[in-house]
Structure 1
């Protein structure tokens, strides 16, 4: 006789993988459809039409959550309007975005070249396609250069092909497959994406990748330890200072990497409306003893002061949470903005989704 846990696992293995968001513009009047489409990405990019007058803008967006990765499919076939999009001046998210444009030519799909950018830095581009696929990755993915990636042309084509194949395979996948898809995708992209200014010899790459993974685990476990230092890491990893510094050079150096992780932790705590401690007390907990210096460093990293980050985080959290007397929110009805924020808050707060 099977236990409840065994029955749950078996059921999960046969549950078809479903997209968590499936929305289209058909619910809006024709003249308002583009504005509705633009609102889906309001916290990610600013989108404008280079031709103002249009009869309609039929678009559909579907999103799949694959662990900490998000695959986005957007189609607006035959709209014929050239669009300009740019990253937000005060970004909420700092994900990597790998995008594959798609066009229909005489009924045949033609795939464009892979585009990539970090949502946290200024970027502007134009496009006139029939849709696109985007894979959104955490900014700290694969110890990459903070704001830029160096992808060889042949690897860019390979990644574009993989994203297309991944998208086409999703109808045949189950919820149980998500763990394996995430692991396989992360490993493949880590092998294809090399940090900018990466001077590591190709032969040492796999070994250094293991060292970085071990270092990241130690840093995560000991982040609140005031004695956490490059020297302590070297002893724990049994590597020289020069090698550790070289491995983390693309991330701005080991000290910068640790400082950024601590800043990210303070940002998480500031977004928690349950934690009422002062900003200076939170900063001190994570090794920032000088409140003024912390505020300057925080603003340089995230483009806003800790006070503003706290206010924005609390407002956003209050908006996303469902009041006890309300029915649970249907994730399938949420726009991409809310899904990414939900992922960001996952593990830190008990929101109702």
Structure 2
């Protein structure tokens, strides 16, 4: 069964309803279809490779919680290789940090500068917008927290200084215990608790994450991340300015064209990133019931001088036309109440793109 819909709905256990969880399982499929499903589930953020094709089964189970400003996943998986997606032009670039607590098994990661793993109960930090590869070497179980770069300036600086490392400190273990406890208690929480949970998690990240020694010695990574954060804030603040482009961003950052290209290469270039953010902004406008402007006016405000060009770019990104989004309750990227109706293999991608927006 791909879905376990009885568990996807809101569980009622008293006067308040708990948060729903969303399930994916490879059970009930033939061996090739099992890995294909698992691969497609992670395709928005990773490229997975099957390293044990001769085995009779590939077991993968995933439980997702939509925490509003964060996403938490509980993952059980057999062995596989993984690699990040930078270097190719992606339709929907996903760039978050992941904070992974390994509960069983083994994970090993390599970057251009570092190779690292972690013991059971230790937190590993990855950046989905950077180049890396690795392997889940055994049958493994993990909790994975997805943290958007826009959560706060402080968390961005903190996680930038520690990405691609293992938190093998006492405070790192404290964060691991916190995340395990959050997963255990989520069935007792309701939607109204999410702002408090986000604030508590942000405070724990700031308190428990410290720069890795290697990153202190090699400052290039953190410097690049800080420049990227400045660029992202500039683009968000000037998103509707018709003058916004690579030259404006370059001058504001005070960097060379080559440096700017290297910063945004994982996103297909700075102009691709700007267009993607503008399309996300257009999507929000089209689903806003108080915004009744004509569709071409919304596109024109975001730099699309031609309505047909806007429509084509929008459909490439979201899989549906601007008019379909406007006329459909909730639109093409499903609102939270519709997530249970989304195909199970697409839910992780939907949630990650929502964090991106």
Whether these two folds match at TM > 0.5 is: yes
- Distance apart, 1:26 and its partner CA: 1.6
102 and 156 in structure 1: CA distance in 2 versus 1, 3 angstrom threshold: same
87 and 335 in structure 1: CA distance in 2 versus 1, 3 angstrom threshold: farther
- Out of 281, 296, 303, the position equivalent to 1:276 is 296
8 Å CA contact 1:28–1:36 kept in 2: the answer is no
8 Å CA contact 1:101–1:132 kept in 2: the answer is yes
- Distance apart, 1:337 and its partner CA: 4.3
Indicate whether 1:16 and 2:42 are aligned: no
Instruction: Encode CA deviations 1:80-133: one digit per residue, 9 max, x unaligned.
Output: xx311011244531121111222179xxxx825322222122221112242211
CA distance in 1, matches of 2:198, 2:89: 29
* Paired position in structure 1 for 2:146: 136
Larger Rg: 1
Q: Following superposition of structure 1 onto structure 2, how do residues 290-309 of structure 1 map, counting pairs within 5 Å?
A: none
Indicate whether 1:183 and 2:195 are aligned: no
8 Å CA contact 1:269–1:275 kept in 2: the answer is no
51 and 62 in structure 1: CA distance in 2 versus 1, 3 angstrom threshold: same
- Distance apart, 1:141 and its partner CA: 3.0
- Out of 310, 313, 318, the position equivalent to 2:317 is 313
CA distance in 2, matches of 1:194, 1:121: 20
* Paired position in structure 2 for 1:87: 84
Q: Which deviates further from its counterpart, 184-193 or 126-135?
A: 184-193
52 and 187 in structure 1: CA distance in 2 versus 1, 3 angstrom threshold: same
Q: Following superposition of structure 1 onto structure 2, how do residues 79-158 of structure 1 map, counting pairs within 5 Å?
A: 79=78, 82-88=79-85, 89-91=88-90, 92=92, 93-103=94-104, 111-129=120-138, 130-143=140-153, 144-145=156-157, 148-150=160-162, 153-154=168-169, 155-158=171-174
- Distance apart, 1:51 and its partner CA: 2.4
Segments of structure 2 that go 5 or more residues without pairing to the other structure are: 1-12, 107-118, 217-228, 243-252, 254-259, 265-269, 287-293, 330-336
> How does the TM-score come out when normalised to structure 1?
0.57
276 and 28 in structure 1: CA distance in 2 versus 1, 3 angstrom threshold: farther
CA distance in 1, matches of 2:136, 2:239: 42
Instruction: Encode CA deviations 1:30-65: one digit per residue, 9 max, x unaligned.
Output: 442122222211222111122221101222111001
8 Å CA contact 1:30–1:55 kept in 2: the answer is yes
CA distance in 2, matches of 1:136, 1:175: 18
* Paired position in structure 2 for 1:63: 64
CA distance in 1, matches of 2:82, 2:36: 14
CA distance in 1, matches of 2:70, 2:210: 19
* Paired position in structure 2 for 1:54: 55
CA distance in 2, matches of 1:195, 1:277: 46
* Paired position in structure 2 for 1:75: 76
CA distance in 2, matches of 1:116, 1:39: 23
Q: Following superposition of structure 1 onto structure 2, how do residues 207-222 of structure 1 map, counting pairs within 5 Å?
A: none
CA distance in 1, matches of 2:353, 2:32: 34
- Distance apart, 1:313 and its partner CA: 1.6
Instruction: Encode CA deviations 1:205-257: one digit per residue, 9 max, x unaligned.
Output: xxxxxxx9xxx8x997887689xxxxxxxxxxxxxxxxxx9xxxxxx9xxx9x
* Paired position in structure 1 for 2:185: 169
CA distance in 2, matches of 1:317, 1:99: 36
* Paired position in structure 1 for 2:278: 266
